[in-house]
Structure 1
Amino acid sequence: MELEAIPGVGAKTAASLAELEDPERALREGDVAALASAPGVTPGRAARIARAAIRATHDDPGGFLGTDRAREIYREVCALLQARAVTDYAASRLETFYPSARRSRIEEAREMASDALEREPTEAVLAALSDVEPVTEPGDVRVRERCLATTDAERYSAAREAFRELSVEVVEDARGLAELARGYATVVALDEKFAGVDVEGDVRVRPDAFDEPVEIVPERPLAFFSRNRDRLRAAVAVHRQSDLDAPCDLDALASGLDRLDADGAVAGDDELDRLEDALDDLDDAVAAAEDLASARLKDAIAEQDVTIEGSDLLSLVERGAGADSLLSRELADEYDDAVTAAREHLVETLNLDDAEGEVAARAFPDEPTFPVSHEADVVARLREDLQSAMDRRAGERKRELANDLADMREDAETLVRRALELDVELAIARFAADYDCTMADFLWDDEEQAANARGADAAPDVAITGGRSPLLDEPPERIDPVDYEIAGVRLLSGVNSGGKTSTLDLVAAVVVLAHMGLPVPADSVSLRRFDGVHYHAKTQGTLDAGAFESTVRGFADLATGADGGLVLVDELESITEPGASAKIIAGILEALAERDATGVFVSHLADEIRETAGYDVPVDGIEATGLVDGELQVERSPVPEHLARSTPELIVEKLADEAADGAREPDANADSGGGTSDASGTTGASADGGADATDFYERLLAKFE
């Protein structure tokens, strides 16, 4: 895929994406995490790039959401899906699903969504997902205790390029190699001519270094696994708790991760731990051994009764001898015991092996001194020996572990990707479960033509059974299901607060989700493929002349160029005076009907519109069954070909019924003279007055017929 061919991707962004290991795969699979790892690309930008790449793949021009309200519907349903994602990756990845008019894209997304509905979002899986994040590159790895050496300038350049983690040095001969060995724990000679050369230190001749990079720089693969250790462990847990197919041996990967520290060092090796502890404790152990020996010798001196004859003292003075000579002569055995105790303490404290113990024994001299002090050069040698042994051991274990893990890197990345993609599927599955969703049945263009050829039996453009609007601010279980069929352009009537707008929202949400390829909140849905959704929300208040003109221009464009789109309009009459509104709406309906468009116009002016329109406009009604304690009782599913009664009509009908009931019930206190009086002398309503009220209400009610 040509990166700059993707809409919205310029030369700078294309250059950033080109730095990815496999940008084509990331774009093809909508891998927003990989795209967001490109320099300067944010997660939001990555989602937009992935969406644009998908559009380019399907030759999708976009623009399906034709109005602000349509875009709001998309954002709201997308937010509901994202709220059910566990990982940030899944939330971003869900933004790559968008409503499309292209059959190929819809079917591609439907295939994934159908698979998602088979998933079981258990608590164990969701808990494991909470620790999964996209893998990241470890950054620059620098190894300072090892270097490469060569006599060849060309090989030097190649080594610097191939092994950026190591220093590369040019040497002339074995002497130069030996000098390097004194400054590095390990020297890797790249020239075969050094084979068999005896050089002190850890010098390895590896002319095959370029073919075995893991052997030379095991830190390279280990850095990736240590940097992503927790992410990989979480992905392993997700695979174990779910039915995902693992791309590698999970036990082998988990075992390798257990042998690795967060800083890339090898963990769980007793010998390596011993050497590290010995190095860390060396200075303290030497000091403690000195104190032990000095204390023992001091006690021995305090208890010793030493007598020095004059001639002996004179001889010692003449020879320039001091107390050490006296100790050597009089307390030789006690000094030996004290030094032996110091040596044993040092060996035991540091847990030294036999060879190391021999070096440690020389840390305390055989010649008596007081206080007892260590030989600094011997302790320095012991430190060097321990450090070299630790470096060699660490190198061996790193190479072993790196060889075990290096071939698993690609599978490990796939393991994490699959876990993250599972979260995407589970978010879809959880949304579908919450709203009892199903996959919509599309009537594709060729099938639609065949169905419409049947005339009266033509399939509706949209047929929703048991629809539950996810946009209502209600728990899913409290949402009343709605059945509604839409064929052509029609009016939707009904009482205030009866559910007309929420019905439009339901239709919009169903059509948008279906064209995203995702499950829809209904028992069943069938629909034709639309080229776009144009949802015009209710205008708040009458528009001024300029805004009114702009609105009419918009409908002109819609009526003359919106073939194949779904038009939803909520109370367009609010834009101007009711009489003019009815005429404008009638004209829009006529233009849309002539183009065989699909649309629903919510209006309280159904009668006026039908009288003005040049054709028989179908009217559906959301019928209120009555008023109970001041609350409307509504049948939420629109009744086809039915003009619903208005709220004022229901109220007048209620008043008429109450007045009629009052007229039929004579007052218990009434006498033959007519009215009754209360304590204040006020005359109450008579039966005749009740009859007059009934006549009044019935006269008003007749106006609605």
Structure 2
Amino acid sequence: MELESVPGVGAKTAAALRELDDPERALSEGDVTTLARAPGISEGRAARIARGAIRAEHGDPGGFAATPRAREIFGEALGLLQERTVTDYAAKRLETLYPSGVRERIEEVRSFTERAMEREPDPDVRAALAGVEPLSEPGDVRVRDRCLATSDAERYAEAQEAIPEVSVEVVDDARQLAELARSYSTVVALDEAFAGVDVEGDVRVEPDALSEPASVVPERVLTFFARNRDRVRAAAEVHRVAGLDAPCDLGTLADALEQLDADGSVRGDDELDRLSTAVDDLDAAVSTAESVANDHLRDAIEERDVTIEGTDLLSLVERGAGVDSLLQRELADEYAAAVEKARDHLVDALRLRDTEATARRAFPDEPAYPVERQEDVVSRLREELTAARDRRATRRKRELADDLAEMRSDAESLVTAALELDVELAVARFAADFECTLPEVTDEGGFEIEGGRSPLLDVAFEEVEPVDYGVSGVTVLSGVNSGGKTSTLDLVALVTTLAHMGLPVPAESARIGRVAELHYHAKTQGTLDAGAFEATLREFGGLVTDVAADRPVMVLVDELESITEPGAAATIIAGILESLAEREVTAVFVSHLADDILEASDADLAIDGIQAEGLVDGELRVNRSPVKGKLARSTPELIVEKLADDGGDEGFYSGLLGKFE
């Protein structure tokens, strides 16, 4: 896919998208979260780009929601779905769904919807989903204890790009390689020419290292899993609870993750723990060993009476001898025992093995008081322990990284499947909450809705009265005030929008004629001034002129008469309806001027009415389903009729009632 061919993607945006590992996949799958990782692209823009890519794939020109109110209906429908997601990913993913007049796109989403509606919205699954997020790619891994070495400038540039986590050094010969080995715990030479070179330190010749970066930097894999450990575990739990087929053995994955610490280090290795503890506790153990030796020696001195004859004392003074000579002469055995205790304590406290010989040289054989460590030996012991620890850690990292690297794609599939399940469950919950069904989308005009209930009303859904309504061609919908005319238009717009999104609709059944555009004009508040009135007429003029057979439209208009004086409004609406009827448009115009419109029109317009059944205790009772071919009675007529039925008016109310006939 050419990135610049996607609507809304110019050269700058395409350059940002190319920073991603696989932008084409993200576009084709509508992966909004991944697209939003591109520099300078917000999540909202990512959703628009994904929608643009889908439209380009299906040759969809867009523009279905052609008016502000139509776009509001789409936004409210999308909001109802997003309210039923658990993860942010699913909420963003749903933004790639949009109403389309292209059958191929509608059918594509319907296939997804059919699968989704088979899902059971289990609360336990929702709870497990709470911990799932898209996997993140750590970009801050830096390893300072090893480096790559090469004598080739081109290889140097390749190494910097392939394995940016470590330093890359240029060396010309074995001497420079040896210098690097003294500065780094591990040096990986990339040139075959260094094979067989005898250099002190951990120097490995690996010409293929750039093709296997995990062997050089296992931290890359380990950090990835460490950062995403909780997300992978949560996704695994979703699979267990939901009974999804996992792409790998979840127990094996769990065991591997259990060996990983939050910082990417390996845990659960006794030998590595022993060496790490020895390095950390070395100074404290040496100090304690000194105390052990000195306490033993002090006790020995206090328990013995040392007698020095005059000639011996004179001899010691003449030789410049001090207490060390005295110790060697009088307490040599006790000193040796004290030093042995110190050595034993150091070896036992640090649980030393291969480095025991070095540790025992930390305290000298020559008598001295107090007994003190030999700093050069302790430093050498620290170096040996640190090197052993690092070698063990590196080996364990490689082993674990090898295991986890083989499971990375499975882990990604695991998380993706869990996130996509949340998208499906949102649709399933929407369908269940609003008792939805998949509508029939036909190439015939008009619509037929049975038992439709709008979730957009400000009442609990279970209290919404069902509506049956169907229209073919152009119709004027009449009805009493507060009788449900606007809510009926909203229901028709919502069902039409959802059907063209490929989603279920809140009705017992529905047939929707496929259209390319939905023009829904909401009621205008107050009479428009001359300029706004002219603009409104131009909009309808353009709509009538631009309607083409290959791009059918649905027009819903709520009380257009509010834009001007009632007398002129009826004539204007009649003219608009005549023009729409000639072009076989599906249209519903709500109006209180139905009689006047029919009288002003030369066309045979259909008339439907939301019928009031009467007044009960001052409350209007209405049949919410429009009656075909029947003008609705007005609220004033009902009030007059009630007063006439009550009698006592000496013919006044009866006379008024007759005026309505």
Instruction: Please say whether Structure 1 and Structure 2 have the same fold, judged by a TM-score greater than 0.5.
Output: yes
Distance 1:152-1:68 versus aligned 2 partners, 3 A rule: closer
Distance across 2 between alignment mates of 1:155 and 1:76: 57
Q: How does 1:612-691 map to 2 (within 5 A)?
A: 612-657=600-645, 659-660=646-647, 690-691=648-649
Under a length normalisation based on structure 1, what TM-score does the superposition of the two structures give?
Answer: 0.89
Are positions 1:365 and 2:321 aligned together? no
Q: How does 1:462-481 map to 2 (within 5 A)?
A: 462-481=447-466
Are positions 1:509 and 2:494 aligned together? yes
Q: How does 1:265-344 map to 2 (within 5 A)?
A: 265-344=265-344
Distance across 2 between alignment mates of 1:171 and 1:326: 57
The amino acid of 1:63's aligned partner reads G
The amino acid of 2:557's aligned partner reads V
Distance across 1 between alignment mates of 2:486 and 2:636: 19
Name the counterpart of 1:419. 418
Distance across 2 between alignment mates of 1:155 and 1:34: 32
Q: How does 1:163-562 map to 2 (within 5 A)?
A: 163-353=163-353, 355-444=354-443, 448=444, 461-562=446-547
SS in 1 for 2:178: helix
What do the CA deviations read for 1:230-255 (whole angstroms, capped 9, x no partner)?
22222222222224333333333322
Distance across 1 between alignment mates of 2:449 and 2:163: 63
Are positions 1:704 and 2:660 aligned together? yes
Name the counterpart of 2:111. 111
Name the counterpart of 1:58. 58
SS in 2 for 1:169: strand
In structure 2, the gaps of 5 or more residues are none
SS in 1 for 2:385: helix
Distance across 2 between alignment mates of 1:295 and 1:42: 69
What do the CA deviations read for 1:596-620 (whole angstroms, capped 9, x no partner)?
1111111111111112111332221
The amino acid of 1:332's aligned partner reads A
Distance across 1 between alignment mates of 2:211 and 2:18: 26
Distance across 2 between alignment mates of 1:439 and 1:315: 113
Select between 553-562 and 168-177 the one with higher mean Cα deviation: 168-177
Select between 104-113 and 196-205 the one with higher mean Cα deviation: 196-205
What do the CA deviations read for 1:623-669 (whole angstroms, capped 9, x no partner)?
22222332222221112112122112222222233x33xxxxxxxxx
Distance across 2 between alignment mates of 1:643 and 1:483: 17
The answer to whether the 8 A contact 1:77-1:470 is kept is: no
| CA radius of gyration, larger in | 1
Shift of 1:562: 3.0
SS in 1 for 2:188: strand
Distance across 2 between alignment mates of 1:489 and 1:636: 20
What do the CA deviations read for 1:428-469 (whole angstroms, capped 9, x no partner)?
11111110111110112xxx3xxxxxxxxxxx7101111111
Name the counterpart of 1:73. 73
Distance across 2 between alignment mates of 1:134 and 1:82: 17
SS in 1 for 2:251: helix
Shift of 1:311: 2.0
The answer to whether the 8 A contact 1:120-1:426 is kept is: yes
Distance across 2 between alignment mates of 1:64 and 1:156: 54
Shift of 1:222: 2.4
Distance 1:4-1:696 versus aligned 2 partners, 3 A rule: same
Name the counterpart of 1:146. 146
In structure 1, the gaps of 5 or more residues are 449-459, 661-689
Q: How does 1:543-622 map to 2 (within 5 A)?
A: 543-563=528-548, 564-622=552-610
Distance across 2 between alignment mates of 1:260 and 1:610: 78
Distance across 2 between alignment mates of 1:311 and 1:601: 132
Shift of 1:158: 4.1
Shift of 1:494: 1.4
Select between 614-623 and 482-491 the one with higher mean Cα deviation: 614-623
What do the CA deviations read for 1:206-239 (whole angstroms, capped 9, x no partner)?
3343454332232232232223222222222222
Q: Over aligned residues, Cα RMSD in angstroms?
A: 1.9
The amino acid of 1:51's aligned partner reads R
Select between 629-638 and 424-433 the one with higher mean Cα deviation: 629-638
SS in 1 for 2:580: helix
Distance across 1 between alignment mates of 2:447 and 2:473: 10
What do the CA deviations read for 1:570-624 (whole angstroms, capped 9, x no partner)?
1111112211111111111111111111111111111111121113322211122
Distance across 2 between alignment mates of 1:366 and 1:516: 88
Distance across 2 between alignment mates of 1:357 and 1:628: 101
Under a length normalisation based on structure 2, what TM-score does the superposition of the two structures give?
Answer: 0.95
Distance across 1 between alignment mates of 2:113 and 2:97: 10
Distance across 2 between alignment mates of 1:294 and 1:420: 65
Shift of 1:196: 4.1
Name the counterpart of 1:675. none
The amino acid of 1:227's aligned partner reads R
Distance 1:417-1:73 versus aligned 2 partners, 3 A rule: same
Select between 647-656 and 520-529 the one with higher mean Cα deviation: 647-656
Distance across 1 between alignment mates of 2:325 and 2:619: 114
What do the CA deviations read for 1:468-517 (whole angstroms, capped 9, x no partner)?
11211222222221111111111111121111111100000000011011
Distance 1:119-1:364 versus aligned 2 partners, 3 A rule: same
Distance 1:158-1:619 versus aligned 2 partners, 3 A rule: closer
Distance across 1 between alignment mates of 2:649 and 2:232: 83
The amino acid of 1:22's aligned partner reads D
Q: How does 1:128-139 map to 2 (within 5 A)?
A: 128-139=128-139
The answer to whether the 8 A contact 1:32-1:93 is kept is: yes
Shift of 1:189: 3.0
Select between 471-480 and 183-192 the one with higher mean Cα deviation: 183-192
Select between 530-539 and 116-125 the one with higher mean Cα deviation: 116-125
SS in 2 for 1:491: strand
Shift of 1:337: 3.2
Select between 49-58 and 645-654 the one with higher mean Cα deviation: 645-654
SS in 2 for 1:147: strand
Shift of 1:415: 2.3
SS in 2 for 1:408: helix
SS in 2 for 1:148: strand
What do the CA deviations read for 1:153-208 (whole angstroms, capped 9, x no partner)?
55445444433333333444444333322221112233445444443322223334
Shift of 1:152: 4.8
Distance across 2 between alignment mates of 1:381 and 1:576: 97
What do the CA deviations read for 1:255-274 (whole angstroms, capped 9, x no partner)?
22222222222222121111
Distance across 2 between alignment mates of 1:486 and 1:152: 77
What do the CA deviations read for 1:315-334 (whole angstroms, capped 9, x no partner)?
22111111222223333333
Distance across 1 between alignment mates of 2:120 and 2:500: 24
Shift of 1:8: 1.1
Distance 1:574-1:178 versus aligned 2 partners, 3 A rule: same
